[in-house]
Amino acid sequence: MSSLLLTQVEGRIATLILNRPEKRNALSPELISEMTAAMVSLNENEEIRVVLIRSADKPFCAGADLSYLAKLRDFSLEENEADSQALRRLFDLIYLSPKIVISQVEGPALAGGCGLATLADLCVATPDATFGYTEVKIGFIPALVMVYLREKIGGGVLRDLMLTGRVLKAEEAFNLGLVQRLVSSDAIENVVNQMAEELCENTSQQAIASVKGMLQTIQGMTRDEALDYAAKQNAVARGSADFRKGIDAFLQKQPLKW
C-alpha cells in the first residue's frame, strides 16, 4: 500500500485517501500517478459504485507541490505540456468517471487541490473548509480546472474566482454551488459514508453512468441538438435491463435495492 495514497474498498464503495500531511497533501507527480492508476482501476471495476476522495489529515489539498513547482521553471515547453497532460488525465478520470465521485473536504482546498475537490460530482465540506483557485497570486493560471468548472458555474462567478484568486469560506462555496453539503467536523465521515451507501442502494449504476455522460455531452450543443440527443438517450434507457428491473419492481410494489 502506497504511503502517498491509501486505498480502501468496503463493498461497493472505494475511498482514496491523500496521505502527505507533512506536505499539506500537495499534488506531487508521484501522487498524481498513483491517483491516476487507482482511478483507472476503479472506473473499470464493475463492483464499485461510489468513489470517495478525502485526506488523511487537514488540509484537504494545498495544490501543487511547491518544491516541484520550483523545478518546472527549468522545464522545456514540451516537458511542461506533458506534465499538464498528466494532471489532465487524472482530472478526466475523476470528472468523466461512470461512478459517483464524492469529495470530503476538511480544511483548505486550494489551487489544484480546489480543482480536485470541486471536480467531484458531490463535494461535502465542513464549515471550516476553505476553497480557492489561487494560481494567479503566484503568476500561474488555473487553466485546466476552468474548463471543467465552466460546466458547473459560469459568467461573472467563474471570472471572479479565476481572476481574483480569492479564498472562499465553506458557506460561500456552498452558496455558489461548489459545495453540495455542509456538515460538522464530528459528523462528516458518517454523513459521507451514509450518502455513499444510500447511493449504492437507491440508484441504478446504468442510469448514473448515462446521466453523467449526458451532462457532459450536451455542453456546447444547441437546444435542438441537445433535445434530439436527449430523446434518443431516453429511448435507449427504456430498453435497458435496469429500467425493466425498476419498472417491474414499481408495478409489483416490491422494494428495490440496486
Q: Residues 97, 39: contact at Cβ < 8 Å?
A: yes
CA nearest neighbour of 166 among 102, 119, 114: 114
Grid-cell match 486550494, residue found: 110
Query: What is the C-alpha separation between 1 and 141, in angstroms, rounded?
Result: 33
| CA distances in angstroms from 78 to 28, 66, 123, 138, listed in the order given | 19, 20, 34, 22
Q: Is 22 a catalytic residue?
A: no
Does a cis peptide bond (omega within 30 degrees of 0) precede residue 142?
no
Of 135, 151, 171, 189, which residue is the catalytic one? 135
- The CA distance from 78 to 199, in Å, is 42
Pairing of strands 13-18, 108-110: unpaired
Is the separation of the CB atoms in 165 and 112 below 8 Å? no
SS3 letters across 228-249? HHHHHHHHHHHCCHHHHHHHHH
Q: How far apart are CA 178 and CA 172, in angstroms?
A: 9
- In angstroms, rounded to a whole number, what is the distance separating the alpha carbons of residues 230 and 209? 14
Whether 170 and 178 have beta carbons less than 8 Å apart is answered as no
Catalytic site positions? 135
